[in-house]
Amino acid sequence: MDRFQPETSTPSKPKGKALTLVKKANKELRAKLETYIPAGDYGCIHCLTTLVLNYVPSGDAPPVSHCGFSNPTSSICDQCTDRKSVCDRPNAMLERDFSELMACISLAVEHVWDEDEGELTFSADDRLDIAKALKAYINEFVKSERDYRTHYKLTGSKTARKELVYNARKQVLAARHPMPARAYTDPELRKAWERLSLPALEFCDPGYAHLTLARRRYVTEFMAVIKRNYTKESVKETQEQLENLVRV
């Protein structure tokens, strides 16, 4: 061997017990990737709070909560499992508010962070403006949800919380408007009716004004960015899509 040529060595392969552990870890990882289910509208409030605390607005990535379930039979998301904490959805009386928030996040990912042949179509400045407005909206939701729980004493035992929410839900369901006949054959109309029928913060509830203003500011910013980048026809379609999902 030439003394000036560096000697190369091949890393040793795991054997025995080490090999067994590697195979087990790989098997668990494959199973996790195959069964992973994003939480979406069923995400937990803790993952949303973690997102608000850790996300730094940028044009590179949208503020998306990585809440999901690797175990389809588990009622606890992966992040709460790792944290060994209780996995709670946002309070049931804010279902519509939460649904609208998740719809706004989905629309932002679909339009603003959309890729065309591997490249982002919107400018970095536009993406940054949306990221800032969206984080502010998420932050207000988290604070409003917390204030609602505190104000109505919904932070006690699970039994007490379930009873209070159950009684409130009965009142909401009793006052629900009947579903339009066309909604039985129109999936989009049915989805819109279901969303409008969900309970939400009312004018007298703590956090209502702040959350409403944050949602309106975000919608205004989102549509301003859309108008700068889309044709008139595409703007109209996006506006209708937004109005079917969110109170504007």
Is 179 a member of any domain? yes
Is 34 a member of any domain? no
Is 154 a member of any domain? yes
Using one digit for the tens of pLDDT, what is the confidence trace for 46-78? 999 999 999 999 888 889 888 888 877 778 888
Give the predicted TM-score (pTM) of the model.
0.76
Is 241 a member of any domain? yes
Is 197 a member of any domain? yes
Is 134 a member of any domain? yes
> Among candidates 29, 202, 223, 227, which has minimal Cα distance to 108?
223
Is 104 a member of any domain? yes
> What is the total count of domains within the chain?
1
Is 126 a member of any domain? yes
Q: Domain range spanning residue 240?
A: 91-245
Q: Are 63 and 134 in contact (CB under 8 A)?
A: yes
Question: In this structure, is the dihedral angle defined by the CA atoms of residues 39, 55, 132 and 96, taken in order, positive or negative?
Answer: positive
| pLDDT at position 3 over 50 | no
**Looking at residue 221, what is its pLDDT?**
95
